[in-house]
Amino acid sequence: MGPPPRDVVVLLAVVFVTFSLQFFTSTASLVRILRLTPLVYRGFLWQLATYPFIGYGDASLWFLLELLILFWFGRDVYSQLGRKHFWRVLVGCAVVAGAVAVAAQLLIRTVSPQTADLIPPFSLMQGQRMLLTILVAAFATMNRQARIYLFFVLPIEARWFLGLEILFAFMGFLASRDLAGFLGICAGVGATYLYLVSGGGRRGLRQTRLKIERWWLQQKLERTRRKRGIRVVRDEGEVKRGPWTH
């Protein structure tokens, strides 16, 4: 498919560098204030936009595998969306997911503060995990009939990955009890799907609004027809004129 997109390479480099910085004492604090943490309630609102670009996890081969999968999906999604919509999807949907997760965690802290303090929030959706969630959802939405080999063995149509992402996140929730992170992943998948289905941007939102208005008018006319007993005559071409018509 030619050389990899520069934006995708830069994205991988940022995730890898920030992942490495967490293991050094002098830079670990910088990484912590860029991740999504309860500090967002104290005014650290930039975390809603920075957390997906901060590498997360232990030093293992699994992290490198996540970067490889991120590259595969990122390259294809970038080639289909272009630079502008690629970054709109990544940043916009990540912010929506983060806002939903923060709202959920705030509700949990209000209802059960003891539980909220015991369970570290947002671990399921930190860093490359949210990027993977959004890019896989974008690929599955735009290439519904494409075939993806799950675990490199099991062939599955891409459209099923929208539900599989939710299922995997739920399994992660059962292990971590991170309800806010689970809801954030669900919101990320949903926001990505809605953005791409609507066409993206103002034009897509306008088209969605027009479709809703047209449906509403059709329902209103149908109710009026049934109420007044109006018989609708559909146009089937040119009307034959009789000797009594002018």
Q: Where are the domains of the chain?
A: 6-203
Range of weakest confidence among 16-25, 63-72, 204-213: 204-213
Can you identify the CATH homologous superfamily of domain 6-203? Answer: Rhomboid-like (1.20.1540.10)
Percent of the chain surpassing pLDDT 70? 81
Average pLDDT of the chain to the nearest whole number: 82
Higher pLDDT among residues 119 and 6, named by residue: 6
For the segment 147-159, the average pLDDT, to the nearest whole number, is 74
pLDDT above 50: residue 205:
no
pTM above 0.85, yes or no: no
CA dist 108 → 36, 93, 102, 239 (Å)? 16, 23, 10, 66
